[in-house]
Structure 1
Amino acid sequence: MSYYTLVAALPDLPPLARCKQLPISRIALERRLTMLEEEDLKQLRLAESLYHFSASPEQAVSDQKLVYQWQSQLEQIHSPIIRECIQLRLEWQSLIAAIRQRQAGAKGPEQFFGLGRWTTRIRQHWQEPTLGLEDAMPLLIQLQPQMLKGAAGEVEAQMNAWLWQNLFQVERSHAFSLETVICFVLRWGIAEKQIENDADQALKAFEAMAEALISAPGIKANIESAFEELS
């Protein structure tokens, strides 16, 4: 099919740091995606399920089985560049999992299973702060201190910014193709997750502020007095 009409119908996504509201809803996006042929749509769905992987308790499987599942599904992605984008994402997932696993101290390197080029190196350099990958993946140097203090939100934000840029470059270098569409949808998913996280953080901050105010002696006394009058 010609992808020109579909790509032209997709709005520009603002830079991730400034993306506070999506320019297109999922419902509207799905309407546009109906222009895809069935096989292309299957490729898109598979790419999304891998890139934005999340496991529910009901789907919990061992790390080893999960990696085998990822490898099998990756082989079904037809586009080499999209397959590479997804592998990068899953390699990052594996790296972050390795650092968290090491910090928890529950498992050793021999029990680590990850996807991608760095699995053997990770096991060999298990006790090093950045798993011996500071040259290959410099972003790890920035993420490692934040991971040590448990700043999961900051780690995710920086990793997503890096992944967003990777997808954006691929999207721009493959104009009016299925790759363009898939990269756009994957970036849309990153933006959606960031907006949801920002909303969750804002709600938590509001609840903490409200609790602190209610706990203040003067306000607490006024609230108790008001309840007494109503009773």
Structure 2
Amino acid sequence: MPGPDAYIALVSSLPSSERLFVAKQPPLSELRLRKRLTALDEDDAKTLRRIENVLNWASYDARAEISDVVKRARSLLHDLPHPTLRAVVADRMDLRTAIAALRMRRDGMSAPTGRWGFGKWTGHIAANWSDPTFRLDAPLPWLREAGTLLEAGDALGLERHLLEVAFRQLQRHGGMHHFDFEAVVIYVLKWNLFDRWAASDAQAAARRFAQLSDDALQDFPDLMLEGGTG
């Protein structure tokens, strides 16, 4: 079982994760990150995997509903002994519940009933369904901009905004941990945000390039016929 010194060495070996949206790529490759994480205690490694599986959208089926996500989060929190990590998971799930509500309302759905989401705001959201921010401007100040971006159909802008919110949440919780297991988890979750933004930005750039190409070709409808495919 690794001792405290092993975790100090692990955290010290990880490059800074403070430049989200400035750096073009994550601060180290996934291969190198996972190799360094082999220093974790076996139980801690399993806990990290569970947290990642709950918080990473890639681990869900594309048709997964908020109820499926909530069920997995509650199971994790039941087993998670670390108060800071419980708060990390709860904060991210509160974010997802609020965003799910914005999407539901945008799609014309009525206020949900019963245990439809996660956290302390579900009843409040349902009771204030017609308010643009569900009257949560004070506790969730990021929600108004998220709603504006969603209504505008700015998918990339919304993605960036939510990743920034999640990053600030991790920054806040990480201030109390520097060379322990919690610090490792928070680093990995930040890395996942980096990786997700890099992928989103690349996909958006590809879509923009394709759109520009399509727009240009509209003015030259015979171009492909004349030039062939090469």
Same structural fold, with TM-score higher than 0.5 when normalized by the shorter chain: yes
Aligned counterpart for 1:53 among listed residues 50, 54, 57 = 57
- Kept in 1: contact 2:48–2:185 (CA 8 A): yes
Q: Which residue of 1 aligns with 2:43?
A: 39
Identity %: 27
| Range moving further from structure 2, 64-73 or 25-34 | 64-73
Aligned counterpart for 1:163 among listed residues 157, 161, 166 = 166
For the pair shown, which has the larger CA radius of gyration, 1 or 2?
1
| Range moving further from structure 2, 195-204 or 126-135 | 126-135
RMSD: 2.0
Q: Which residue of 2 aligns with 1:185?
A: 188
Q: Deviations over 1:17-57 (max 9, x none)?
A: 20211221111111100101101101111111122234214
Q: Deviations over 1:64-113 (max 9, x none)?
A: 45423321222222211111011110111000001110111134322671
> Distance in 2 between the 1:208 and 1:5 partners?
47
Q: Which residue of 2 aligns with 1:77?
A: 80
Q: Which residue of 2 aligns with 1:205?
A: 208
Q: Deviations over 1:129-163 (max 9, x none)?
A: 11111122111122222222222321221121121
Q: Which residue of 2 aligns with 1:20?
A: 24
Aligned length: 224
Letter in 2 for 1:46: R
- Kept in 2: contact 1:13–1:19 (CA 8 A): no
- Going by fraction, where is helix more abundant, 1 or 2? 1
> Distance in 2 between the 1:129 and 1:222 partners?
48
Q: TM-score, normalised by structure 2?
A: 0.89
Q: TM-score, normalised by structure 1?
A: 0.89
> Distance in 1 between the 2:160 and 2:200 partners?
10
The verdict on how the C-alpha distance between 1:67 and 1:14 changes in structure 2, with shifts beyond 3 A counting, is: closer
Aligned counterpart for 1:110 among listed residues 103, 109, 113 = 113
Q: Which residue of 1 aligns with 2:14?
A: 10
Q: Deviation at 1:62?
A: 5.2
What are structure 1's unaligned runs of at least 5 residues? none
- Kept in 2: contact 1:112–1:123 (CA 8 A): no
